């Protein structure tokens, strides 16, 4: 493999982190806790998200540890139920949903569109506090007995048959939901109303389009799960009867309301990651994203179609055959825009000048793993096969491929890609590439066996299984250990880089976005002079001309 | 020093508001009156139609949507559309199941 | 009077904007916006998006309502007859009138009529409180008759309508036992939907109180009308929800 790299750092003997930036502008804890600066809020989110991620990861470790042996020997079944429930709740609501939007979206959307901040800075801060309140409440419920209904809170189990902390956990999710709604609302207003002169819709980076689509889902879908949780709470406390067959209620109504949000939720989770991938693939193949318009529209199409398919999570639950047919057909449709994106990214790579820096490694991982995850989603959307595969480990493997192999890799790609811009420092390249490869290997070893287990019939959410499944489970647990190492390494070297990393300069990747045309870390107001957008997105020729102009200025001023 | 706001948009005046008020009051009277007449399966349809008309008047005139930008109109449409998707697709499941056999 | 934005960015330019009294950069213009138009536009759009979330929030309840009304029509009829149509109609008229006064309030703010604004907001507040008062009366009656879902729920009015005033007036026949049990679903939805609506009214009334206080000081008649306009949107939305609740809950088969 060549040692080609596009990294272009300033002369390390003279380069310094700019003295005036958003981190040094003000000091003191309160200046962070009461900030309106979207960049500081993004960092607050990054720290808290990482914290919750590792808690969710620890719970995953417990699950895999239990599943090393066929018997339920590490913990009681009830405890196991609580562990996988909390793993799901924390990973979905407190990590995946806010991951890219609340960190990278918050930080970069204003910069990418040429604005000084998001439209509603106080709402942005409120969003973080709501996230923290929900998260702390979720941790509290975990420590006071937990919940064992599965993250899906299926009725009537959650309303009538368990004595665990359903109400408090429901409240935690409810609060986190509002955090998500406010973030999405802020993004939509900002993208519509605060673009710099010349920044037309079709000059926006695809990262922005992806967040716009995800934000639509956040605003329209989240309130429905909120009301579903309220109804569960009323059912549990007063016994109103909306989900209770004995009183004439229908438990499936809960599922309709729950999945009406939770299916769009998976698109809320993945779309921002897809936005990251667009940026990374373009930068590391030095090429405009192929079919910009198709990728932009497919983001919106995913958001719109995502509303029409929720009952594919309910095929075996008692919905009518007509409903099964309609939703299965519609699910086939929703796969198309995602596939369009994969094709477009692949065509971007074709005849591009590809280099393999860490963000690109994660992006390649995404392309392969998301494709596999997405295709297995089609098997599940097809009702005939779903009847056999649902509630087995096939489902578990499917969603981990798209969410961990897809979304989490995209998140790591984004963090590495923009780390120099956020902190002004480069992370160490060799160890980060190693971590990416270790993650990829660990991931495949963990989750590929689970596809096989699922087709063989191993049910999900069970602490014990027939002994013939053990060998695959052992592979999976071994993989999980490797995966854990792969996720731990970035924490270590990224923190290390804060003090010892090379000074990055404005544009170490030679990227075209507006955020790369200013200092690293950025000024509080983002730009010293508000930019005017006079070129198309991903215009590498414009970038070259910029750099030539810069060199001329340096030469002439040096004389 | 200006005391007036400089909104480019149309300021809707009291005459319009009074007209809409009377329309809404009339609609209320109409819907109550209609509910006391036996029109079979038309009763709920008429009630919903009148309610929707009243809601439309409030949205267009009290909430200024008639005089608003395309974006605002699109936003209202998006909300109504998603709401209708939720109701219609969920209801289609219930309608196609064994009706009332619980 | 400097605008107290969340945190001073220590930016000299931002501070001078915040302190400037000239019309180009009024004190209420936040530094991340380029103009008051952009700011008003953005916050108006933000309010509409928030209302969309409210539409979807109530949407779940309306879905539940439509399903159960079709499944248990007889129970819903009997339940609806237990509601007082006079109070319901009065409340509808009260809210429609309050929407009118609120719209007039927005007009007063837009045209700089401080006293008119205060009057409109005060009338809206009074009407809002009247609505809540009538709701309290209705709820107390329901509590007395044991129509609140839960352990104290009573089926008497439905099994034996001859001895229940409201049922007798509507000419109801006794329901079979299982259908009578389903009236609890009707009342669950009644309380969930009107309760959620009333909660939104209470919040609205609270904000109205704050607005009246600020309006008297002239806060909304000097060009910065966004707060009043956006609150107006919220208030009208709450009115629209009631328009549907009234038709769906109070007027089922009243003939």
| pLDDT tens figures, B33-49 | 999 888 888 888 999 99
pLDDT confidence of residue C125 = 97
User: Rounded distance, CA A457 to CA A459, Å?
Assistant: 6
Of B28, B72, B91, the CB nearest to C93: B28
Residue B100 touches partner C, C-beta closer than 8 Å: yes
pLDDT digits (tens, 9 = 90+) for A511-531: 999 999 999 999 999 999 989
pTM recorded for the entire structure: 0.93
Question: Band of the pLDDT at A73, cuts 50, 70, 90?
Answer: very high
pLDDT of residue C168: 85
CA distance A155 to chain B (A): 16
At C23 the pLDDT is 55
Does the pLDDT at position C10 exceed 60? no
Residue A53, CA atoms < 13 Å, CB-side half-sphere: 20
Coil, strand or helix at C187: helix
Contact indicator for A422, A43 with CB cutoff of 8 Å:
yes
Residue A203 pLDDT greater than 60, yes or no: yes
Chain mean position to CA C203: 8
Given a cut of 90, whether residue A198 has pLDDT beyond it is yes
- pLDDT-derived band at A241 (thresholds 50, 70, 90) equals confident
Assign A558 a pLDDT band (cuts: 50, 70, 90): low
pLDDT above 50 (res A450): yes
Give kind and range of the element (H or E) at residue C159.
helix C156-159
Is A358:A429 a contact under the CB 8 Å cutoff? yes
Q: Which DSSP category does A506 fall into?
A: S
Span A355-388, pLDDT tens digits: 999 999 999 999 999 999 999 999 999 999 999 9
Contact C41 A193 (CB under 8 A): yes
- The per-residue pLDDT for B41 is 84
Angstroms from A256 CA to nearest CA on chain B: 7
Q: Considering only CA atoms, which of C53, C83, C223, C162 is closest in space to residue A183?
A: C53
pLDDT of residue A268: 97
The one-character DSSP state at C172 is P
Residues of B in Cβ contact (< 8 Å) with A248: 102
Distance set, CA A492 to CA A360, A486, A488, C208 (Å): 20, 11, 7, 52
Q: Looking at per-residue confidence, does A556 or A133 come out higher?
A: A133
The whole-chain average pLDDT of chain A stands at 95
Question: Sorting pLDDT into bands at 50, 70 and 90, what band is B8?
Answer: very low
Helix (H, G, I), strand (E, B) or coil at B77: helix
B57 touches chain C (CB under 8 A): no
Q: How much is the average pLDDT of C137-143?
A: 95
Q: For residue A112, what are its two tokens?
A: 């990418």
Interface of A with C in 494-513 (CB under 8 A): none
pLDDT tens for C149-202 read: 988 899 988 988 888 888 888 888 899 998 999 999 999 999 999 999 999 999
pLDDT, tens only, A493-508 = 999 999 999 999 999 9
Cβ of A559: how many Cβ atoms within 10 Å?
A: 4
Which residue among C6, C33, C151 places its CB closest to the CB of A34? Answer: C6
> pLDDT confidence of A71, banded at 50, 70, 90?
very high
Which residues have a Cβ under 8 Å from the Cβ of A170 and sit 6 or more positions away? Answer: A153, A229, A232, A233
Q: Does domain A29-558 have CATH number 1.20.1110.10?
A: no
Looking at the DSSP assignment, which residues form a beta bridge with residue A526? A523
Give the DSSP letter string of A90-130.
Answer: HHIIIIITTHHIIIIIHHHHHHHHT-SS-S-HHHHHHHHHH
Return all residues near A375 (Cβ < 8 A) that are at least 6 apart.
none
Distance CA A249, CA C153 (A): 16
Of B21, B62, B83, the CB nearest to C56: B83
Taking an 8 Å cut-off on Cβ atoms, the answer to whether B90 and A256 are in contact is yes
Q: Residue C20: pLDDT above 50?
A: no
pLDDT of residue C8: 36
Residue A200 CA to residue A293 CA, distance in Å, equals: 13
Q: Provide the pLDDT for residue B24.
A: 96
Overall average pLDDT of the A393-418 stretch? 97
Contacts of A322 in chain B (CB under 8 A): 92-93, 96
The Cα C58–Cα B35 span in angstroms is 24
- Pair A205, C38: CB distance under 8 Å: no
β strands within chain C, DSSP E: none
Residue A133 C-beta-side C-alpha neighbours within 13 Å: 15
DSSP labels, A511-547: --SGGGGS-SSPBTTB-SS-----S-TT-HHHHHHHH
Verify cis geometry, omega within 30 degrees of 0, for the bond prior to C218: no
Residue A239, classed as helix, strand or coil, is coil
For the record, the structure tokens of A357 come out as 């820096």
CA angle C246, C247, C252 (to 5 degrees): 110
Sign of the C-alpha dihedral, residues A463, A466, A469, A471?
A: positive
pLDDT at A431 over 80: yes
Is the pLDDT score of A206 beyond 80?
A: yes
Domains present along chain C, CATH in parentheses: 1-32 (no CATH), 36-250 (1.20.120.80)
Q: What pLDDT score does B99 carry?
A: 56
Give the pLDDT band of residue A3 (cuts 50, 70, 90). Answer: low
Chain B residue with the nearest C-alpha to that of C251: B35
Taking an 8 Å cut-off on Cβ atoms, the answer to whether A34 and C7 are in contact is: yes
Q: Which of A250, A307, A320 sits opposite B85 (nearest CB)?
A: A307
* Rounded-to-integer distance, Cα C38 and Cα C43, Å: 9
Question: What is the arithmetic mean of pLDDT over C118-144?
Answer: 96
Residue A247: the pLDDT is 85
Reading the block at residue A99, the tokens are 């991951």
Residue B26: how many other CB atoms lie within 10 Å = 12
Give me the pLDDT at residue C254, please: 78
Contacts of A261 in chain C (CB under 8 A): none
pLDDT tens, position by position, C67-100 = 999 899 999 999 999 999 999 999 999 999 999 9
In the structure, what pLDDT confidence band is assigned to residue C45 with cuts at 50, 70 and 90?
A: very high
Quick one: pLDDT at residue A434?
A: 97
How far apart (Å, rounded) are the C-alpha atoms in residues A458 and A447? 14
What does the DSSP 8-state code read for residue C249? I
Q: How confident is the model at residue B9 (pLDDT cuts 50, 70, 90)?
A: low
Percent of chain A with pLDDT over 70: 99
Integer Cα distance of A97 and A398 in angstroms: 18
- Identify the top-confidence range among A79-88, C164-173, C214-223: A79-88
Name every residue whose Cβ is closer than 8 Å to that of residue A146 and which is 6 or more positions away in sequence.
A82, A83, A85, A86, A164, A165
In the predicted model, what is the mean pLDDT of chain C? 88
Q: How far apart are CA A405 and CA A366, in angstroms?
A: 6
Which of B11, B16, B24 has the most C C-beta neighbours within 10 Å, making it the best mutation to test the interface with C?
B24
Short-list A504, A490, A509, A513, CA closest to A412: A490
Contact A459, A384 (CB under 8 A): no
């Amino acid at each position: 493999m060549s040692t080609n790299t596009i990294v272009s750092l300033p002369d390390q003997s003279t380069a310094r982190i700019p003295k005036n930036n958003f981190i040094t502008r003000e000091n003191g804890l309160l200046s962070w806790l009461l900030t309106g600066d979207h960049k500081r809020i993004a960092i607050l989110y990054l720290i808290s998200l990482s914290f919750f991620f590792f808690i969710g990861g620890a719970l995953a470790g417990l699950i895999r540890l239990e599943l090393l042996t066929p018997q339920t020997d590490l913990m009681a079944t009830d405890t196991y139920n609580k562990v996988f429930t909390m793993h799901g709740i924390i990973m979905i609501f407190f990590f995946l949903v806010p991951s890219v939007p609340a960190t990278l979206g918050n930080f970069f959307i204003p910069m990418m569109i040429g604005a000084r901040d998001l439209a509603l800075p106080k709402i942005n801060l409120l969003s973080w506090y709501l996230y923290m309140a929900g998260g702390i409440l979720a941790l509290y419920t975990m420590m006071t007995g937990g919940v064992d209904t599965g993250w899906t809170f299926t009725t009537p189990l959650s309303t009538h048959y368990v004595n665990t902390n359903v109400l408090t956990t429901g409240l935690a999710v409810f609060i986190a939901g509002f955090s998500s709604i406010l973030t999405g609302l802020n993004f939509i207003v900002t993208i519509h109303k605060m673009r710099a002169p010349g920044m037309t819709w079709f000059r926006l980076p695809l990262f922005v389009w992806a967040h716009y689509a995800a934000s639509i889902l956040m605003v329209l879908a989240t309130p429905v799960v909120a009301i579903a949780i309220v109804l569960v709470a009323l059912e549990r406390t007063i016994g109103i009867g909306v989900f209770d067959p004995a009183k004439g209620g229908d438990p499936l109504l809960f599922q309709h309301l729950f999945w009406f949000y939770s299916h769009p939720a998976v698109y809320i989770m993945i779309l921002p990651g897809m936005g990251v991938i667009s940026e990374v693939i373009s930068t590391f193949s030095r090429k405009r994203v192929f079919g910009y318009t198709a990728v932009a529209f497919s983001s919106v199409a995913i958001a719109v179609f995502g509303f029409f398919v929720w009952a594919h999570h309910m095929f075996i639950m008692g919905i009518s055959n007509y409903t099964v047919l309609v939703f299965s057909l519609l699910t086939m449709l929703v796969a198309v825009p995602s596939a369009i994106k994969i094709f477009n990214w692949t065509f971007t790579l074709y005849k591009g000048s590809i280099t393999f820096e860490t963000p690109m490694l994660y992006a390649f991982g995404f392309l392969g793993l998301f494709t596999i995850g997405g295709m297995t989603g089609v098997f599940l959307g097809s009702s005939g096969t779903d009847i056999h595969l649902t509630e087995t480990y096939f489902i578990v493997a499917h969603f981990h491929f798209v969410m961990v192999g897809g979304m989490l890799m995209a998140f790591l790609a984004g963090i590495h890609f923009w780390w120099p811009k956020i902190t002004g420092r480069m992370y160490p390249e060799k160890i980060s590439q190693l971590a990416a490869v270790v993650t990829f290997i660990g991931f495949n070893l963990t989750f590929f066996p689970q596809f096989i287990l699922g087709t063989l019939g191993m049910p999900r959410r069970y602490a014990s299984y027939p002994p013939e499944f053990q060998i695959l489970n052992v592979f999976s647990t071994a993989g999980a250990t490797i995966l854990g190492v792969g996720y731990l390494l970035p924490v270590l070297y990224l923190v290390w880089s804060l003090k010892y990393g090379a000074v990055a300069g404005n544009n170490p990747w030679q990227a075209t976005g507006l955020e790369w045309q200013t200092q690293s870390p950025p000024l509080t107001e983002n730009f010293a002079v508000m930019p005017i957008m006079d070129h198309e997105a991903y215009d590498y020729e414009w970038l070259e001309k910029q750099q030539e102009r810069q060199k001329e200025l340096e030469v002439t001023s040096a004389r | 020093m200006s005391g007036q706001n400089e909104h480019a948009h149309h300021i809707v005046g009291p005459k319009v508001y009074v007209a809409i008020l009377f329309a809404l009051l009339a609609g209320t009277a109409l819907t109550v009156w209609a509910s006391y007449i036996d029109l079979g399966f038309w009763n709920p349809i008429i009630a919903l139609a009148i309610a929707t008309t009243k809601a439309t008047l409030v949205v267009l005139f009290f909430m200024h949507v008639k005089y608003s930008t395309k974006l605002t109109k699109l936003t209202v449409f998006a909300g109504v559309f998603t709401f209708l998707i939720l109701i219609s697709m969920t209801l289609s499941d219930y309608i196609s199941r064994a009706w009332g056999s619980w | 009077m400097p605008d107290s934005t969340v945190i001073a960015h220590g930016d000299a330019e931002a501070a001078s904007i915040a302190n400037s009294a000239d019309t180009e950069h009024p004190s209420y213009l936040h530094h991340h916006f380029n103009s008051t138009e952009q700011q008003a536009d953005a916050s108006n759009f933000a309010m509409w998006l928030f209302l969309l979330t409210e539409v979807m929030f109530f949407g779940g309840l309306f879905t539940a309502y439509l399903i159960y009304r079709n499944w248990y029509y007889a129970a819903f009829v009997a339940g609806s007859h237990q509601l007082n149509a006079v109070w319901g109609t009065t409340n509808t008229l009260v809210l429609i009138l309050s929407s009118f006064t609120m719209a007039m309030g927005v007009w007063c703010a837009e045209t700089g009529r401080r006293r008119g604004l205060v009057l409109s907001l005060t009338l809206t507040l009074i009407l809002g409180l009247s609505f809540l008062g009538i709701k309290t009366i209705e709820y107390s009656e329901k509590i007395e008759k044991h129509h609140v879902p839960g352990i104290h729920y009573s089926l008497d009015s439905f099994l034996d309508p001859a001895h229940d005033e409201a049922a007798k007036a509507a000419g109801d026949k006794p329901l079979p036992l299982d259908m009578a049990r389903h009236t609890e679903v009707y009342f669950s939805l009644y309380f969930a939907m009107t309760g959620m609506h009333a909660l939104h009214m209470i919040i609205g009334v609270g904000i109205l109180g704050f607005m009246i206080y600020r309006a008297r000081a002239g806060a909304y008649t000097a060009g910065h009308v966004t707060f009043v306009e956006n609150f107006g949107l919220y208030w009208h939305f709450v009115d629209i929800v009631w328009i549907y609740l009234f038709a769906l809950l109070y007027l089922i088969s009243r003939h």
